[in-house]
Every structure is written in C-alpha cells, then in structure tokens.
A and B are shown apart, each in its own frame.
Chain A
Amino acid sequence: MTTRAESHLVSYPRFLARVLWLGTEGTPWFYAWMTLLTAAALVGLHAWATQVRDGMAVTGMTDHVSWGLYIANFTFAVGLAAGAVMMVIPAYLYRDEEMHDVVIVGELLAVAAITMCLLFVVADLGRPDRFWHMIPGLGRFHWPVSMLTWDVIVLNGYLLLNLHICGYLLYQRYLGRTPDPRWYVPFVFVSIFWAISIHTVTAFLYCGLGGRPFWNTALLAPRFLASAFVSGPAFLIVALRLIERFGGVHVGEGPRRTLLKILRVAVLVNLLMVGSEAFTAFYTGGAHAATARYLFFGLHGHDALVPWTWTAIACGVGSAVALHLPAVASRPRLLDLTCLAAFVGIWIEKGMGLIIPGFVPSTLHEVVEYAPTLIEWQVTAGVWAFGLLVFTAAVKVALPVLEPHAPGAAEGGHA
C-alpha cells in the first residue's frame, strides 16, 4: 500500500499500543485518580448487571414516570458534547491560535461525553441483548420516522467525526509528520454543524411528543443549545486549569478568556429562555401550568422536585451574576467555583428538571412522583466515572504531544 519504510498495518497498531502505554503513565496522583474512577465504573457496571437480571423494577421508574435519571443524564451529556464545539468555533472559524493549541481538549470532551450518552441509553434499555434490532440491515431501523433513529445517527456520527479528527492528528504526530489539513479540516467544519444537530435532534425527541405539553414547545431545541453552551465552556474552563495544574502543560489565559466570554452570554440567554417558559406556563394558567406548578412549588402536596428546581435556579442566577463581576473573573479559584455552580445548575435543569416534569402529572393527570434508587445512582456515577476516565486518559496522551509552547512537554507530563 505505502512505499514508506513502514506500512500503516504495522505502525498503526504500534501507535495504538503507545497510546495505551502513555494513557496509563503518570504520577501517584494520576494513578489514585484513575483507580478511583475505575472502581466507581465497576460499581456502576455491577449495578447495571443486577438491573438487567432482576428487571428495571430495581429503579424508581414506573409506568407513570417511565424515564428517569438515566435519560436525564443522557440529555445533559449530549449538551456537554455539543458545548465542546465552543472551542472548535473560535479555533477554526475565528483562527484563534491559542485556542487552536488546546482545541483537542474540546474534541476529546466530545468523545468522552458521547461515550457517556451511549452508555446511558444502553443503561435505560429493558432489553440490552436486543440492541442489534437497531442496527440497519440486521434489525429494523425505523428511519426516518422515529426521532430516536435520527439521534442514533447523529450521536454516532459525531463520535466518529471527533475520533477521526483526534486520532488522525495524534497518529500523524506519532509518525513525525505534519498533519495534512485536507484530512481533518473539512471534518472539523462538518463537526461544527454536527454539534448543533446532535442537540437539536435530542430536543426533537421530546418536543415532538404532542401528549407531553411540558416538552411540546418550539423553544426546547434553542434552550438545549443555550444550556449546552453554558455546561460545555464551564466544564472546559475548569478542565483547562486542572490540565495546567496536574498535566505540567502550559495553557495560555487566552482560551479561558474566550470561553468565559461565551459563557457570560450563554448563561444569560439560557436564563431568558427559562424565564419565558415560566411566564408562558404561569400567566396562561389552566391545566398546562400544572407541570410548572409541580416543578417550582409542588402539586397537591407532591414536591419531590422543588428542592432540585430551586437549587438549579440559585446556581443559574448566582453564576450569571458572578460571571459578570470583574472580581470573580480575576480570581481563578472563584471563577472555577462559579463554573461549577453553572455546570450543576444546568445538570439539574436539563436533567431531572426537564425529564421528570414531562411525566408529572401523567397524561391522565395523575401525580405519581419519582425518586432515583441506589442502583440508579450507582449506574449513573459509574457512567460518569467512565466518561471522566476516557477524558483523562485521552487528554493525558494528546496534550503533551500537540501543545507546542510547553518547554517540558516532551517529558510526557511527569510534573
């Protein structure tokens, strides 16, 4: 195939082996962190296996609230993956050189977040053994009618795009060659549009259901995007700091400043949208306000979601104010805390705060509440741990190689 010294058939497996080796190299702190994540992931795996054996009665879900913590986290993770594009856009569309140096962190976050999405969907299936029924050709893929099939396509497509971009760049560096832009820049531009599509399609899953008035709003997809552009940049600001702190890699202030600017706008747009949803529900009143009443104040004495909701509002409003205070922006630790609050706020708002009220009251207006069980928390923590594990290992491999300004980068980050 190739006339060069070594065929790709030889060098690619070698490259993968090297990646595996590098991804498992680090300081004692690194090993402690990875062991912790592995342990959490294994606990989650065991909880999931138990759920498959004993049936989903081990979850808190019922025929009234038939989706719960898994789908809530799935929705949030799609947003996280889409939010990562907020590094790609400045780097490639606006040619922000500093951002360009670390843009791979965003792309790797997309990979990790999509992996989590797929795991959450599998965790939610009653019959994971029948997963093959969804494979086009083998099973019966109900495309284009079912929005879920669209979601399967866009999520897997986004995963492949990002895997290709990151994999290609790393492989070229491994071979000691300069990456050929023709082999990845077009994919980067496709991935920008694709990022928007994953979250739009995920919103369409819900907003296309006429029987669920809480979801059946045209604002859902824009709202998903706005909140994605809060959670993604918030995560990345903190991640970049941690990478610098523990990875022994220099990341300029530039990328963080750009992300902060995006975050400041997104957090306000998101609050505006939440506010207009609340206005529409409460001012109109009637039966359609029942869900909003349940969400914010409780309905007929049922108020399981109320503490979640107000925590999310406190996080959302608090972080929106704090992000605009110069005193916060100039204090890294305070900024990280603010980002964390914004992240948690969206996690609630777009997770439990979006999925559960869709089912309460039910389509026959019965109020049945939902609370996740220990098994659900274990599976959820396990998937998050696995996602972080993938992200940490991937950043570990990628960053010292691609970051050009760091004098000590070639040492592999044994800081």
Chain B
Amino acid sequence: MTDAPRAPRPLPVIQGDVTRRALMKGAGAMLGAAAFARALQPLTEWAQDLSVDQFLQRHYREMSPDEMQAVLRRLEAQAKEDYGADVRIDDVRPQPGVQFAYALNLSVCVGCRRCAEACHEENNHDRPSGNSYIRVLEMTKGSMDMEQGRADYDGPVPRPDKFYMPVQCQQCDDAPCVKVCPVEATWKEQDGIVVVDYDWCIGCRYCEAACPYHARRFNWTKPQVPADEVNPDQAYLSNRIRPQGVVEKCTFCLHRTRRGRLPACLEACPTGARVFGNVLDPDSDIRWVLENKRVYVLKEELGTRPRFFYFFDK
C-alpha cells in the first residue's frame, strides 16, 4: 500500500498558560474583526444603494410580464432619483419576420464621426469619457490592414490618401461574446441583435476579451449624464442608463428599429453611407445592397458570421 501504517500521532500538547494565551488570542481576534469591518467600510456605503429587489432580480428571460413591469417602473424611478430625468423604459421585443442587417459604403464615408456622436447621445453614454459604440478608423488607401489604420486621427476630413471605416458591433450569428459569457447575460435575439441584460451581467469582461471587433464597452464607473441630456425614450435591453460595473454594446438601437425607425447612427450620417433594414423584406434597401454590391465582412476567417457588411461603390 502507498501509505504504510504508522503509529498514530496525537496533536501536540499545549503547554504554558493556556488561559492567558486564550485571552490574548481573543483580543487579537476582536481587533482583527474590528479592522476587518473598518476595511470593508466603502463596501457598506456602496451596498446602501442596493435594494433587495435589485439584488434578487431574475434573468430577463425568466421574468413574467408582471415582474418585468415592476422592474421597469423601479428603473424609471431610479433614473429620476439618480439623474433627475423623467424617462420611459419599455421592454421592446423583436418583431416576427424581421432579420436585421447593416451595410456601410466605404466609398462615401468621410470620417466625420457624426455617427459616433449620435450614438453617444442616443444611447445615454457616459459624458466625461465620450463613450460611443462606434469607432471610426482612418485607413490608408491601398491597404485593408487595420494595422495601417488609426482611430485617433484629427483635423479636417476626408484626407485625400485615406478612407474611413466605422466599426461597431457586427451582431455576429456565431458570436464569440455570447459563447464565453459564464452566466448567459448576453444572447442573440430572434431578429439577430445581440443584447446584454445589464442587470444580470457580473462584469467579468470575458466577452470584451472574446470580441474580435472591439464592440463591447465596460462601465468602469457609474455613467454621468446631465438631466437635460438624458434621452428619455429607453428600452430595458438597449439605451437605458447602465449600472456601474457591467458590459454594454451596440443594439442596432433596438428601441427605435423594432418600432420601425432607423438607427441613430444612420440618421446622423451626412453622406448616406449607411444602409439598414430587414433582409427578409425583398423591397428593402439592405436587400438591394446585399444582392447588387460586392459586400464583405470584417475578419471573415474567424467564422463569426457578422451581420454588418462593408462595400465600395467605385
């Protein structure tokens, strides 16, 4: 046998003045406990803003319609309390027979970043960080390599030897971010949009590491938006003001597009570079682009099957 039987050995005998040492140890433990509580003070302060309802809230897909209504009203009240804004938060569901896709004409994009700005306002992004779901790359003509591009370009656009490539969530059909999430806080909806339940996300940021398109953002702090700048037209899964410590992403403005409107970035585009719609509708612009233009997707070799297409006109 691996363990040869040995004479059993008792635990060491305690020597010396046991009572005195027990007292010393008790005092040490009390001191330690007090220091422990003191060290955790910031956590106690933070937990005061956390209600039991909030803590126990269930996953988006497990909530009954009544539960959802209660949550929406609570979130509205919270927005009023935290931001001083009267907002309306709805649970906007996908429409049957709709599959969304997006296309972007790189020949006409001038790199003005109005789309990124519109996204910032529409989606109630944190003001100080200037966050947006869209990043525009200035690319060098003659190269499709993103290494030759830069996002921090400045000055008048468009520059003659450059072209501009806005990148946002590609709403992949085989999304790496959805695969890696340990708690199913992110998933793909029927109409092709990848969403996040901001109240279920644990903030591990594995999705951010997995996304090949830099599409995801983390709320490193509680977002700051002045009351008069808050977009009051909100949805649970899209542009409501996100809690601190969770991941967020582009939702193709589902609070608009699921109600027949266009994404904010498209409406803001001055050159008409952006085409959005339902690919199942044979008369839609997006369908025309996909049928008549030679479109391509970013990083096709990764097998993520994006729903965001790029094309050149000339």
Chain A positions near chain B (C-beta within 8 angstroms): 18, 21-22, 24-25, 38, 42-43, 45-46, 49-50, 52-57, 59, 61-64, 66-67, 91-92, 95, 97, 100, 121, 124-131, 133-134, 139-142, 145-149, 152, 172-174, 176-179, 181, 185, 205, 209-212, 287, 290, 358-359, 361-366, 400-402, 404, 409-414
Contact = CB atoms under 8 A, between A and B. Distances in A.
B167 A57 contact: no
B145 interface: yes
Contact of A52 (B46, B149, B181, B246): B46
A61 B41 CA distance: 24
B201 A210 contact: no
A211 B176 contact: yes
Given A49-B46, A140-B184, A210-B303, 4 more contacts: A56-B203, A126-B218, A142-B182, A148-B206
A136 to B, nearest CB: 11
Contacts of B214: 63-64, 362-364, 366
Contact of B209 (A62, A149, A212): A212
A133 B36 contact: no
Given A66-B208, A363-B214, A410 B9 contact: yes
B210 interface: yes
A100 B2 contact: yes
Mostly, the B contact residues are loop
B182 A148 contact: yes
B6 A148 contact: no
A125 B10 contact: no
A323 to B, nearest CB: 29
A18 B11 contact: yes
Contacts, number: 229
Interface centre among A91, A125, A127, A212 (most CB of B within 10 A): A127
Interface in B205-263: 205-206, 208-214, 216-222, 243-247
Interface string B108-119: 000000000000
Contacts of B185: 133
B258 to A, nearest CB: 24
A184 to B, nearest CB: 8
B11 A173 contact: yes
Given A129-B50, A140-B59, A210-B302, A358 B209 contact: yes
B3 A126 contact: no
Given A55-B219, A130-B202, A67 B209 contact: yes
Nearest to B10: A176
Contacts of A181: 1-3
Interface centre among B28, B47, B202 (most CB of A within 10 A): B202
B34 to A, nearest CB: 10
A142 B299 contact: no
B217 A63 contact: yes
Given A53-B42, A211-B211, A287-B145, A124 B204 contact: yes
Contacts of A365: 145-147, 149
A359 B211 CA distance: 11
B5 A178 contact: yes
Interface in B51-66: 55, 59
Interface residues of B, number: 81
Contacts of B147: 287, 290, 361, 365
Given A63-B216, A173-B8, A210-B302, A142 B146 contact: no
Contacts of A141: 182-183
B12 interface: yes
A63 B218 contact: yes
Contacts of A364: 135, 137, 146, 149, 151, 167, 213-214
B35 interface: yes
Contact of A177 (B8, B28, B146, B179): B8
A349 B184 CA distance: 32
A142 B183 contact: yes
B208 A45 contact: no
A66 B39 contact: no
A52 B204 CA distance: 13
Nearest to B145: A287
B74 interface: no
B13 interface: yes
Contacts of B245: 52, 55-56, 125-127
B14 interface: yes
A209 B209 contact: yes
B43 interface: yes
Interface string B30-46: 00100110111111011
A363 B32 CA distance: 46
Contacts of B15: 411-412, 414
Given A141-B182, A149-B182, A177-B8, A45 B200 contact: no
A56 B220 contact: yes
B290 interface: no
Nearest to B55: A129
B56 to A, nearest CB: 9
A128 B135 CA distance: 30
A45 B219 contact: no
Given A18-B11, A52-B42, A173-B8, A42 B35 contact: yes
Nearest to B221: A55
A238 B201 CA distance: 42
Nearest to A135: B183
B221 A57 contact: yes
A84 to B, nearest CB: 18
27 contacts: A21-B14, A25-B21, A49-B42, A49-B46, A56-B221, A61-B220, A63-B218, A91-B2, A126-B201, A126-B204, A131-B202, A140-B184, A146-B179, A146-B182, A149-B182, A172-B8, A177-B8, A181-B2, A210-B176, A211-B176, A212-B212, A290-B147, A362-B214, A401-B11, A402-B9, A411-B13, A413-B12
Contacts of A64: 214
Nearest to A414: B15
A125 B213 CA distance: 22
